[in-house]
Structure 1
Amino acid sequence: MASERGAGPGLKGIRRVAVVGCGGAGKSTFSRRLGELLDLPVVHLDRHYWRPGWVETPDEDFRATQRALVRAERWVIDGNYAGTMDVRLPVADLIVFLDFPRWRCLFRVARRTVRGWGRDGQAPGCPERLDWEFLRWLWDWPRDARPRVLARLDEHGARARRITLSTPREVRDFLGRLRSGDRPRGE
């Protein structure tokens, strides 16, 4: 399905939402706000993937966890994990892609690290950290991970409506229209 850029909400009947995007794009915060507005429970995949001390969950265990999570009738799930998008995208009603520029994501990650914020979806026992490996992943995301994510969205998210938000203003406008109950004409 083609992606709508900054589209109006028109989210009547939406029960399952997948939120994806680069680290620092604000997936967890956006998901929490969207969940509040749509009265949907929010699942942060980082909490299910990372074990204390930043230990990765084995792939098959993580896939099994996601299969159990997506059986729920209603949810907002945030996180990329491109290798397991085939579990959640086919059952999503809506996919929101936070497609922010590299500089904005790097700035946000650095800011939250310096301020000691942590993330909404922080896994227990995994304190906020900023290391060269993570910085390199963020820097390379537009070239390496973004194309893989887009390919997975096209491959596994064909039945879902897809919305791309690329600026904080688009995010604010989207959530604001949803909050006020405004709907684009024709919906």
Structure 2
Amino acid sequence: MKKIAIIGSGGAGKSTLARQLGEILHLPVYHLDAYFWKPGWQPISKKELQKLQQEIIQQEAWIIDGNYGSTMELRLQAADTVIFLDYSTLRCLYGIVKRRIQYQGKTRPDMGVECREKLDLEFFLWVARFKKRKAPAIKDKLRNTNDITIYHLKTPKHTKKLLNQLKA
């Protein structure tokens, strides 16, 4: 496990897991949201995101968390391990509401500079629809990968078990 891509719905805990894995495995962690969102929630272009990821995946080791379906293939082709947090919709909605409360008026450490935590209807609906609209395509992509270890984790308990195994 030297090149790890973490994917899943908003609110599943991708960034938290990335930090935890980074500490356990002593690997650098890259949060795509921190690169994609510029101050005031201004996105970078798809081309910029691709270039940035090309630079990251050239490195010897990394953990990258984030979905960004338009550039997911780059990460999947370069990764030796993929962790798909495929939690229930309710669990993910809970996660986004919890972090909205936790980081009210603040910018999360895994987010772009001056992107204060917010929860709007568009993002809420994206998370609510993720299992039906996004997860099937992710599962298809994962089925079509070769020579890669895939952890398809369906509950936080499964994730905790994986972390405990790696600590041991």
Give me the TM-score of the superposition, normalised by structure 1: 0.84
Alpha-carbon separation, structure 1, partners of 2:156 and 2:108: 17
Aligned pair 1:111/2:94, yes or no? no
Which deviations, in whole Å up to 9, do the C-alpha atoms of 1:26-65 show, x marking residues without a partner? Answer: 0000011011111110000111111111111111111011
Task: State the match for 2:64 in structure 1.
Answer: 77
Q: Do 1:28 and 1:119's aligned partners in 2 also have CA atoms closer than 8 Å? A: no
Alpha-carbon separation, structure 2, partners of 1:28 and 1:120: 9
Give aligned pairs, total.
166
Aligned match of 2:11 in 17, 21, 24? Answer: 24
Q: CA RMSD in A?
A: 1.3
More RCO (CA 8 Å, sep 6+)? 1
Task: State the match for 2:154 in structure 1.
Answer: 166
Note the residue ranges of structure 2 that are not aligned, 5 or more in a row.
none
Q: What is the correspondence of 1:86-105 to structure 2 with a 5 Å cutoff?
A: 86-105=73-92
Larger Rg: 1
Alpha-carbon separation, structure 2, partners of 1:143 and 1:120: 29
- Sequence identity (%): 36
In the TM superposition, residue 120 of structure 1 has moved relative to its aligned partner by: 4.0
Task: State the match for 1:177 in structure 2.
Answer: 165
Give me the TM-score of the superposition, normalised by structure 2: 0.93
Alpha-carbon separation, structure 2, partners of 1:102 and 1:119: 22
One-letter amino acid matched to 2:13: G
**Structure 1 outlier segments of 4+, above 6 Å:** none
Alpha-carbon separation, structure 1, partners of 2:92 and 2:36: 21
Structure having the higher helix fraction is 2
Note the residue ranges of structure 1 that are not aligned, 5 or more in a row.
1-13, 181-187
Task: State the match for 2:21 in structure 1.
Answer: 34
